[in-house]
Structure 1
Amino acid sequence: MFSGQQHPVLDPEILEAIVEAIPEWLGVLLVPTTYIGSVFVIVPLIILAYWWAPDRFGVWIPAFFAYYGLMASIKSLNSATRPDIDPAVGPELFPAIFSTWYGHATAISSTSFPSGNAMVPAVIIGLMIVDLRISTLARRALVGGFAIAFVGFTRLGLGVHYPIDVVGGIALGLAVLGVVLLCRRHFEDGVTAVFALAIALAFASVWLRSGGTGVPTWEGIQGSNRVLALGGAVGGLLAWQWGERSTWQFTTPRLGTVASFAGVLAVVGVTYAIHLSITHPLVSMLWAGVVFAGVIVIPHVVPTRDDVLVPLGVTSA
C-alpha cells in the first residue's frame, strides 16, 4: 500500500511544525499521557472492569482483541515509515528510572499507519462512554472525546506518527466500536459474536505477518504479539462459552471455590513457565489462551461480597 521513505499523504514539514510549537511543559505531559493508548494501561483496565461487572463489561476484552487484529492486519499491508523527527522533549527532563518508559513511548520501529495508540482509545474509551454510569451520556462523550483526541495528539507531539496515522487510527477505532455495539445489540450473545470477530481479525493478522499467501509458518510469526492476541481471543471465547452453557456454576461453596481459584492460578503459572522455557509460537498461543480463559473465569469463582455476607444474614445494601 505505502512504500518508500516519504509518507504518501503528508509532508514531514507539517509534523515538524506541530512538534516545534509544543512548549516544554506540554511536551513533558505528552510522555505519560500517551500511555493511555498503551497495552500497559488498556489491558489491566479492561480486565479490572470485567472483573468488577462481568455482565456489563464482558464485551470489552474481545473488543480489544478485535482492535489489535485489525490494527496489526493493516500494518502488515503497508510499509509506511515512521517520521524521522525528534520528540518535543528529550529524556534528560525525566528521572533516570523513567528512561525505559520514555524510550518505549518515543522509539518505535513498527509500521506508521495506523496509530495503535490512537486507535485503541477510540474503542475502549468509546465503550466507557456507552457503558459507564457516571454523570450523563453527553458529559461522558465530551470528556471521552477529548481524551481520545489528546492521546492522538501525543503521538504527534512525540514525533512518532504523522497526522494521517492518528486520524486514520481514530477512524478505524470508531469503526471497530460501531461493529462491537452492533454485535451487542443484534446478537443474543454479543460477547460471543465479538470474540468470533476478534478471532477472525487476529488470525488474519497472523496470516498476513507470515506472508499472506499460504499456510502460516511458525518462523513468520515467531515472537509476534499477534500470536498472543489470537490465543487470548480463542481462550477467552472457550471460557466464555463454557461459562454461559453452565450458567457459570463452576464450584461448590467454600472449599470448592477456593480450590477452583487456586486451580486457575496454578494452570496459568504452569503454562507461563512452559512459555518461558519453550519459545515456540504455538506455546505462546496456548499460554495466552490459558491466561485469558482464567481472566474470564476468575470473577465467577471468587466469592463476592454477597456470597460472604448473605449466609451470615447480612445484606450488602
Structure 2
Amino acid sequence: MSLVRGTTVLEGIHDILPEWAALCMAVVTQLGDVWFLLLVAIGASWALEDERGRKQGPWPLAVVVGGLALLSALKYAFAMPRPETVLMPVENAPEALRPWYSNLGTAAGYGFPSGHALGSTVTFGLLAAVLDVGTRRQRIAVAAAIVGLVSFSRLVLGVHYPIDIVAGVLVGLAYLGATLWLVERTSVDRTTVTLAIASGLALVAAVVSDGSGSMLQLLALTAGALVVWVVRNRREETRSDRRVRVARAKIRGSVVAAVAVVAVVAVGAILLDYVATRSGLFGLGVAPSLLSSDVSFA
C-alpha cells in the first residue's frame, strides 16, 4: 500500500534535500495548519459585505469548518498510516529547537487524505473565488502557490505520501466547488446553507469515528451554531417586519392628521367667513384667501 501512495517519490525528495530543510518547512507548513486557516476564515467573514455594505455572516468560516469535518470523516473511514521515514528525526534537530520542531514539524494519527492540502485548498480557494482583490487569474495563481507550498512542506517533513496530498487537493476542490454551487443556487442565506453542510458532515464524521469525543464536539458546535443563526435571523426578520409596520402606521397617521388639519382649517375658515359676513366685516375675506392659496392639502 505504501508503494501505491508514492513511497519512491517521497524517498527521492528526502535524498535530494538536506536535513535543515525540514526546519524551514516546519514554518511554511503553518500556512495550512488549522489555527491559521480558521483565522483566515474569520478574517474573510468580517471582510465580506453585500451590495448594501452589510456583513454577510460567518459563512466562509462555516465552509472551512465543513471542510475539516469532511477531512475527519475521510481519515476515519480510510484509517491509513503516515510514512515511517522522515527527513529529519526530532533527535537530529538542534537541542534548542527540538520542542518547537516536535510540535510543528511532526504529526500523528491517520495520514489519508492530507489535512493541510485539503484545508488550504478550501480556504485559499474560497478566498480566490469571493474576494475582490486583483484579477481572478491572479487570485487563483496566489492560492495555487500557497497550496503547492503547503503540500510540498508536508512531503519534505515526511508526514504524508504524495497520494495523500493529491487526494487532499482533489477532495478540497470538489467540496469547495459543490458548496459554492449550492450557495449560489439556493434562496436561503449563505451562512444557513454552509452551517447545514458543516453540521451534516460533522454528523458523518461522528458516525464514522464511532462517536469520537472530538467529532461529537464538532457536531455540537456546528449544529448549535446553525440553530443560533436561524433563530437570530428569524428575530431580525420579525424586527424588520415590525419596523415596516410602524413606519406604515406613521405614514397613515400623518395622512390622517393632515386631512384633519385641512378639514379643521376649512371648516374654521368657513365659519369665520360666515361670522364676518354676518357682522358686516366684508373686508376680511378669510375663506376665499385660504381656499385660493398655493398650499396643497392633498
Compute the TM-score of the two structures, normalised by the length of structure 2.
0.70
Aligned to 1:209: 209
Residue number in structure 2 paired with 1:140: 139
Alpha-carbon distance change, 44 to 80 in structure 1, aligned in 2, over 3 angstroms: same
Deviation at 1:139, TM superposition (A): 0.7
Return closer, same or farther for 1:36/1:94 CA change in 2, 3 Å cut-off.
farther
Aligned to 1:122: 121
* Greater Cα shift, 56-65 or 18-27: 18-27
Contact 1:129 1:137 in 2 (8 A): yes
Q: Provide closer, same or farther for how the CA distance between residues 51 and 87 of structure 1 changes in structure 2, counting only shifts above 3 A.
A: same
Alpha-carbon separation, structure 2, partners of 1:145 and 1:95? 35
2:230 alignment counterpart: 241
After TM superposition, give the deviation of residue 227 of structure 1 in Å.
Answer: 2.5
Q: Aligned to 1:247, what secondary structure does the other structure show?
A: helix
Worse-matched range after superposition: 156-165 or 183-192: 183-192
- Post-superposition offset of 1:58: 2.9
CA contact (8 A) 1:243 1:249 kept: no
Report deviation, 1:105: 3.1
CA contact (8 A) 1:27 1:88 kept: yes
Counterpart Cα distance in 2 of 1:153 and 1:89: 18
1:221 is matched with 212
Bigger radius of gyration? 2
How far apart in 1 are the matches of 2:168 and 2:131? 23
Distance in 1, matches of 2:40 and 2:237, equals 23
Q: CA deviation at 1:92?
A: 6.0
| 3-state SS of 1:175 partner | helix
1:193-241 deviations in whole A, cap 9, x for unaligned?
Answer: 121111111011111111xxxxxxxxx423x2x2332122112212221
Q: For residues 135 and 91 of structure 1, what CA distance do their matches in structure 2 show?
A: 45
The answer to whether 1:232 aligns with 2:221 is yes
Displacement after TM superposition at 1:190 (Å): 2.5
Structure 2 equivalent of residue 39 of structure 1: 34
Distance in 2 (CA, whole Å) between partners of 1:140 and 1:51 is: 19
Distance 2:121 2:11 in 1: 25
1:49 maps to what in 2?
44
Conserved? CA contact 1:108–1:160, under 8 Å: yes
Q: Distance in 2 between matches of 1:91 and 1:63?
A: 38
What residue is the counterpart of 2:14 in the other structure?
19
Q: Return closer, same or farther for 1:221/1:123 CA change in 2, 3 Å cut-off.
A: same
Return closer, same or farther for 1:9/1:246 CA change in 2, 3 Å cut-off.
Answer: same
- In the alignment of these two chains, the number of paired residues is 233
What's the counterpart of residue 284 of structure 1?
none
Moved more, 172-181 or 15-24: 15-24
Match of 2:155 in 1: 156
Percent identity, aligned pairs only, is: 28
Give RMSD over aligned pairs. 2.5
- With over 3 angstroms needed to count, the CA separation of the structure-2 counterparts of 1:42 and 1:101, relative to structure 1, is farther
Tell me the residue number matched to 1:273: none
- The reply to whether residue 197 of structure 1 matches residue 197 of structure 2 is yes
Displacement of 1:22 after TM fit? 2.3
Task: Name the CA distance, whole Å, in 2 between partners of 1:22 and 1:82.
Answer: 20
**3-state DSSP of counterpart to 1:77:** helix
Contact 1:73 1:204 in 2 (8 A): yes
Unaligned runs of 5+ residues in structure 1 are 1-5, 211-219, 251-317
Give the Cα–Cα distance (whole angstroms) in 2 for the partners of residues 48 and 30 of structure 1: 25
Q: Which residue of 1 aligns with 2:285?
A: none
Amino acid aligned to 1:66: G
Code of the residue aligned with 2:102 in structure 1: it is G
For 1:62, the aligned partner's letter is A
Go from structure 1 to structure 2 and tell me whether the alpha carbon gap of 1:19 and 1:161 turns closer, same or farther (over 3 Å shift): same
On the 8 A contact 1:65/1:202 being kept in 2, the answer is no
- Once the two structures are TM-superposed, the CA of residue 36 in structure 1 deviates from its matched residue by 1.2
Match of 1:300 in 2: none
Residues 25 and 9 of structure 1, relative CA distance in 2, 3 Å threshold: same
